[in-house]
Structure 1
Amino acid sequence: MPVASTYDAVIVGGGHNGLVAAAYLARAGRRVLLLERAARTGGAAVSDEVFPGVAARLSRYAYLVSLLPRRVVDDLGVRTAVRARPFSSYTPAVRDGRPTGLLIGGGEDRTRAAFARLTGSDREYAAWRRFQAMTTRVAEHVFPTLTEPLPTRAALRAALGDGPAWEALFERPVGEVIEETFEDDLVRGVVLTDALIGTFASAHDPGLAQNRCFLYHVIGQGTGAWQVPVGGMGALTDALAAAARAAGAEIRTGHEVTSVATDGTAAEVAFRDTAGLAGERAVGARHVLVNASPHALAALLGEPAPPAAEGAQFKVNMLVRRLPALRDPAADPREAFAGTFHVAEGYRQLETARRQAAAGDLPATPPSEIYCHTLTDPSILAPELAARGYQTLTLFGLHTPARLFRSPGRSNEAVRRELLATTLAAFEEHLAEPLAGCLATDAEGRPCVEARTPLDLERDLALPGGHIFHGDLSFPWAEDDADLSTGPARWGVATRHANVLLCGAGAVRGGGVSGIGGHNAAMAVLGR
């Protein structure tokens, strides 16, 4: 087919990483075309009015920000804001037959008192403080390297200069370290959850998939802080798209890339508009940056696919007329839901759920975590809803791998309904009133509840197996004997083809709403 024109870079996919790459390259004077198959940019980081007739714009998939470097925001002049959550987490429990819980945040004195109330001593709090100090030291050293050329394993270890911390997080299964550090099962579970979000693994997986997941959840901003995007996740990606356009990038939504051909020096990118208004067209490119999974890239190149990926999360979006009351008489719902509300995430509970899922069964008591965006940022609600006390609840379920939704003889929809019922029942065990009485209803009188499975993410977002990280996360280094003689290799964005780069979650140091994959691919193109 005829090639219409040639660009310095064609970017496949308009998620946040693709937008970051487009903005950097366009600001450097490159001619850039970004092609996105959906009708809008943003990928998984979008906001929607999920419930018909209800003016609440929820972050439908991705919902919090930790890894997006301030450096990227400042470099690109992105007009966006994030806010800190006033509390880190609340975990309900039953001790001696009475409801209680662990509230972390609100100041050191309150957190110490909460640990003592739960465990009866200061031992676990002291262990918590030591563990947090260790992860903070790692974060301070590792996070700044994510927007620099890849260090080697030996170089990163030397830069950290903390042998015990390196051993704990990079060499040994994190479960061993958690068990050595903490005694209380609930405290162990609170720590472990960061190793399992979007990752189906045990605490003792010898392949250390859980360690890699844990690392990316505790190093953001060099502190491990998780922040709320003001206006919702869509406000963030809309701001990135505006920055890319302002720099001169050409963005075409509703255009799906169908193939990429390259000889390593020049490439041809074929695409079609999803409305079917024109036939297939092609453009030339010096570089192609792919903000899609390695599986999608292989399909575009006509090459064998990499090993299959499998997501393992269950996302539920809810809108309530008021926050539900809690069984724990000492817990204020406005504090408990302001951070991460852990459900069935004790250490043993997490392992039981994993084993049940590995055997092909839905977890009997599904572990999940919930938070309320609107306690920190009510701007995603129409003023009249905010004035009436409406709130959003975002639930993220663990240990629900895609295989469970492909069960022979059972549809994705049937498994979704069953899992939603058991997940909400596990949540309700800690409530002093039925959740149904708190839920808002949409314009047709239906409860404002939306559940998304890995198969939904596979269908709607082209995530293989619904894996939110495009596959298992990688440690943020190159092996000591790696060939780093090319720019793409040095930046961790290389593929088998010199001028085709990964710029999304599948890149080394990709994953999460970070923009790091897009930044690093752009730096490789620019020779920095």
Structure 2
Amino acid sequence: MSESLTRRDSYDVVVVGGGHNGLTAAAYLARAGLSVAVLERLDHTGGAAVSAQAFAGFPTRLSRYSYLVSLLPESIIADLGLGLRLASRSTASYTPVLRDGAAGGLLVERPEGQRTRDSLRALTGSDAEYEAWHEFYGQVAALAGVIGPTLTKPLPRAAEVRKQADPVLWRELTQRPLGEALERRFRDETVRGVVATDALIGTFARMDDPSLVQNRCFLYHLIGNGTGEWRVPIGGMGAVTDALAAAARGAGAELVVNAEVTAIRGGVPGRGGAEVDVAAEGGTRTLRARFVLANVAPWVLAGLLGEDRDPAAKPVGAQLKVNFLLSRLPRLKSGIDPRIAFAGTLHLGEDYSDLERAYAEAAAGRIPSPLPGEVYCHSLTDPSILGDVPEGTHTLTYFGLHLPATLFDDPATRAERKELAVRSAIAVLDQHLVDPVESVVAHDSDGRPCIEAKIPQEIEADLGMPGGHIFHGDLSWPWESDTADLSTPAARWGVAAGRENILLCGSGARRGGAVSGLGGHNAAQAVLELA
């Protein structure tokens, strides 16, 4: 699939890391006629956006880490001729609830229609929450329509975006903690929680956090392509990076696996170029490049540059990822058709008060119980990932919130705490099911339950993401301040790394995060301005 390291020792561009952003950058730059080498330490490219057979005896290819696509611009798909198929889910979300001993739920359709209004009325007793919901998301959609097209352009100034935004929403999202807006706009705890969860994916924060990190996370989850819709890639997440790898290779880029970069030198103003030490094929070689693009977290780049790193500044991921393979979908106590409930995002233990309680428990060093989380069934939208399996088989992906890496820091208790977290995740789902999860979990050819779980430390070990942080660090606003110096291409495109000719091109770049290709696209544009 990927080349060995050739004897060539000089390139226009060396990309450190073969994740989706590195492949995006390589494809753009190679198409522009530059010589490009992508160096990947693993035995395959794709980073977090890969599909793999996880359970012995089943050909099903799971999206093991990243699992949905929202921020990948249609323009990148078109520019690189990727031929990807991104399918809309028939349900936006379903939230099962138990109130006064009765099982019910909140259904949000895609596209939103009468059943959404009816569901909100049944849950809350009036149309007031639906009207608040409709107004809020209408305003957010208008802002997304402003921001979305800017993501593949030089960074706009805050004032440029602000003048096109609803002034009330702008204040709520960019100047005050998001929790204030949700508490003012909505009355129902479940409705508040469903809205709040987009602020907490991979982000450990209170809804009233004064840093506004939760606000930035919320915004990124709702601005992709101006709609914020999260879609399922047909063929799994690996189809995304396979297409990007093919585009890069087809344009002439060299994709080299089993090639670990051990040091980067250069990038000093006035000297030009940089050197990259790479361990591959039993030895170490030094490659020269006019530009180095770092498709690694800024924390990792600092280490490769030989800089001192404050351990306290290391990113801290905050999630539990669990993949299941089920013999059939379980029935829900609310009576809703499982094919509807599981087709979108299934919210669990995510009432507003549940989210705040879980944060407090985790901050105090305890595994939250019940554990807030979300479930996705990709095979309802894309059965092609299943392969030849018994009828009724389905995938299930669980993403747990408020589980910072610090909860698992002690190696002596890590396995026990991971098991507790997985049990807590299953328990919060089981309370809404007629059929407990373990009664419908498939078993592999060795008789083991088809359950695969990853805590932040395992994400770091597998993918090199420091602290298991899925965004490589806290997200930044997708614009720059009105007074920032944007005189260089790297600054204008949000990919500056503090060194000349060394640029960020991964999720740690400005406007990076999630499966978007934006870090790679924007780094490539900066290089093309400089080259």
Amino acid in the other structure paired with 2:314: A
Corresponding residue to 1:346 among 336, 347, 351: 351
Q: How does 1:18-417 map to 2 (within 5 A)?
A: 18-105=22-109, 107-158=112-163, 160-262=164-266, 263-264=268-269, 265-273=272-280, 277-305=281-309, 307-329=313-335, 331-385=336-390, 388-407=391-410, 409-410=412-413, 412-417=414-419
Q: Distance in 2 between matches of 1:512 and 1:408?
A: 29
Q: How does 1:8-27 map to 2 (within 5 A)?
A: 8-27=12-31
Q: Is the 8 A contact 2:330 2:435 kept in 1?
A: yes
Q: Distance in 2 between matches of 1:372 and 1:403?
A: 29
User: Which residue of structure 1 lines up, in the alignment, with residue 476 of structure 2?
Assistant: 474
Amino acid in the other structure paired with 1:70: E
Structure 2 SS opposite 1:251: strand
User: Which residue of structure 1 lines up, in the alignment, with residue 433 of structure 2?
Assistant: 431
Amino acid in the other structure paired with 1:419: A
**Comparing 234-243 and 165-174, the one that deviates more:** 165-174
Q: How much does 1:163 deviate?
A: 1.1
Amino acid in the other structure paired with 2:352: Y
Which sections of structure 1, spanning at least 5 residues, go unmatched? none
Q: How much does 1:19 deviate?
A: 0.3
Q: How much does 1:220 deviate?
A: 1.1
Structure 1 SS opposite 2:107: strand
Q: How much does 1:409 deviate?
A: 4.1
Q: Is the 8 A contact 2:59 2:389 kept in 1?
A: no
Amino acid in the other structure paired with 1:325: R
Amino acid in the other structure paired with 2:473: G
Q: Distance in 1 between matches of 2:252 and 2:424?
A: 49
Q: Is the 8 A contact 1:127 1:182 kept in 2?
A: yes
Describe the superposition over 1:206-255 as per-residue Cα deviations: whole angstroms up to 9, x where unpaired. Answer: 00000000000011110111100100000110010000000110110110
Q: Distance in 2 between matches of 1:526 and 1:458?
A: 32
User: Which residue of structure 1 lines up, in the alignment, with residue 524 of structure 2?
Assistant: 522
The CA RMSD measured in Å over matched residues stands at: 1.2
Q: Distance in 2 between matches of 1:484 and 1:305?
A: 26
Amino acid in the other structure paired with 2:273: A
Describe the superposition over 1:160-214 as per-residue Cα deviations: whole angstroms up to 9, x where unpaired. Answer: 2421121111111110000011000000000000000000000000000000000
User: Which residue of structure 1 lines up, in the alignment, with residue 3 of structure 2?
Assistant: none
Structure 2 SS opposite 1:201: coil
Q: How much does 1:407 deviate?
A: 3.5
Describe the superposition over 1:470-504 as per-residue Cα deviations: whole angstroms up to 9, x where unpaired. Answer: 00000011122211111001100001111000000
Q: Distance in 2 between matches of 1:304 and 1:84?
A: 45
Structure 2 SS opposite 1:383: coil
Q: Distance in 2 between matches of 1:409 and 1:361?
A: 16
Q: Distance in 1 between matches of 2:369 and 2:72?
A: 36
Q: Distance in 2 between matches of 1:13 and 1:384?
A: 34
Q: Is the 8 A contact 1:153 1:480 kept in 2?
A: yes
Q: Distance in 1 between matches of 2:135 and 2:333?
A: 31
Q: Distance in 2 between matches of 1:116 and 1:201?
A: 30
Q: Distance in 2 between matches of 1:296 and 1:4?
A: 26
Q: How much does 1:431 deviate?
A: 0.4
Amino acid in the other structure paired with 1:162: D
Q: Distance in 2 between matches of 1:368 and 1:384?
A: 28
Q: Is the 8 A contact 1:488 1:524 kept in 2?
A: yes
Q: Is the 8 A contact 1:4 1:282 kept in 2?
A: no
**TM-score computed with the length of structure 1 as normaliser:** 0.97
Describe the superposition over 1:297-356 as per-residue Cα deviations: whole angstroms up to 9, x where unpaired. Answer: 011100122622100000000000100010102x11100000000110000000000000
Which sections of structure 2, spanning at least 5 residues, go unmatched? 1-6
**Comparing 165-174 and 337-346, the one that deviates more:** 165-174
Q: How much does 1:142 deviate?
A: 0.5
Q: How much does 1:408 deviate?
A: 7.1
Structure 1 SS opposite 2:30: helix
Structure 2 SS opposite 1:396: strand
Q: Distance in 1 between matches of 2:216 and 2:410?
A: 29
Q: Distance in 1 between matches of 2:170 and 2:35?
A: 43
Q: Distance in 2 between matches of 1:373 and 1:380?
A: 8
Structure 1 SS opposite 2:403: coil
Q: Distance in 1 between matches of 2:435 and 2:36?
A: 54
**Comparing 390-399 and 431-440, the one that deviates more:** 431-440
User: Which residue of structure 1 lines up, in the alignment, with residue 495 of structure 2?
Assistant: 493
Structure 2 SS opposite 1:369: strand
**Comparing 303-312 and 434-443, the one that deviates more:** 303-312
Q: Is the 8 A contact 1:4 1:281 kept in 2?
A: no
Q: Distance in 1 between matches of 2:412 and 2:12?
A: 49
Amino acid in the other structure paired with 1:201: A
Superposition misfits of 4+ residues, deviation over 3 angstroms: none
Structure 1 SS opposite 2:402: coil
Amino acid in the other structure paired with 2:129: E
Task: Count how many residue pairs are aligned between Structure 1 and Structure 2.
Answer: 518
Change in 2 beyond 3 A, CA 1:343/1:494 = same
Describe the superposition over 1:85-120 as per-residue Cα deviations: whole angstroms up to 9, x where unpaired. Answer: 001100011123200010110541111111111111
**Comparing 21-30 and 375-384, the one that deviates more:** 375-384
Q: Distance in 1 between matches of 2:436 and 2:192?
A: 29
Q: Is the 8 A contact 1:294 1:470 kept in 2?
A: yes
Amino acid in the other structure paired with 2:325: L
Amino acid in the other structure paired with 1:266: G
Structure 2 SS opposite 1:313: strand
Q: Distance in 2 between matches of 1:320 and 1:433?
A: 12
User: Which residue of structure 1 lines up, in the alignment, with residue 4 of structure 2?
Assistant: none
Q: Distance in 2 between matches of 1:484 and 1:434?
A: 55
Q: How much does 1:357 deviate?
A: 0.2
Q: Is the 8 A contact 1:228 1:376 kept in 2?
A: yes
Amino acid in the other structure paired with 2:320: F
Amino acid in the other structure paired with 1:322: R
